[in-house]
């Protein structure tokens, strides 16, 4: 398998102490700003090339991103906002499709330096997903039923929906 690599141009911190890295697209030459040290993939906004961030000095080409049709949302990549008193920047978006439609998840980077979280948007409803290391065994996917309660670490998670989905686009 042939992989292309792009070399990082600069890494710096803004005057507010925010992380900023500028990479270069090996396909079209455009700058690829990375505004969060936890970002692992980046998409060129000009040619839709997708790259895996490889350490601190290069990118690995992963192909092309599917174009996302515009859909009304209160969020957009690069937008800044506040949630529960914490400032954030929208880093990216993934669209998932399934038999009854689609939903989107927005990766948000916290200004306080904490690892990014995901904010799900589905039919006007919002859910914030926090990163959690799984410390206990999880039941097999086929055994989980809608309406059941699944133990995850110290939490009891009520299953409201169970479907298979696929990624249909991202930015």
Give the mean model confidence (pLDDT) for residues 124-134: 85
Instruction: Note the pLDDT tens digit of each residue in 51-95.
Output: 777 665 567 776 666 556 566 678 888 899 999 899 999 988 888
Instruction: Note the pLDDT tens digit of each residue in 15-52.
Output: 454 666 778 887 788 887 776 666 677 777 778 777 77
Of residues 6 and 24, more confidence is placed in 24
Using the CB atoms, write b or e for 8-45: b if 16+ within 10 Å. Answer: beeeeeeeeeebebebbbbbeeeebebebbbbebbbbb
- pTM higher than the cut 0.85: no
Q: 92: which 2 tokens?
A: 């990216």
């Amino acid at each position: 398998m042939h992989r292309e690599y792009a070399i990082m141009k600069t890494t710096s911190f803004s005057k507010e102490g925010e992380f900023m890295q500028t990479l270069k697209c090996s396909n079209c030459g455009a700058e690829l700003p990375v505004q969060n040290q936890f970002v692992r993939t980046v998409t060129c906004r000009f040619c839709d090339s997708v790259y895996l961030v490889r350490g601190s000095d290069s990118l690995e080409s992963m192909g092309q991103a599917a174009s996302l049709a515009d859909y009304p949302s209160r969020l957009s990549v690069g937008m800044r906002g506040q949630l529960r008193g914490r400032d954030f920047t929208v880093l990216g978006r993934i669209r998932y499709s399934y038999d009854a439609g689609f939903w989107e998840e927005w990766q948000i980077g916290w200004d306080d330096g904490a690892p990014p979280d995901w904010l799900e948007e589905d039919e006007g409803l919002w859910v914030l997903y926090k990163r959690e290391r799984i410390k206990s065994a999880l039941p097999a996917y086929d055994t989980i039923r809608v309406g059941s309660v699944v133990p995850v670490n110290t939490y009891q998670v009520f299953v409201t929906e169970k479907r298979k989905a696929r990624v249909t686009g991202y930015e």
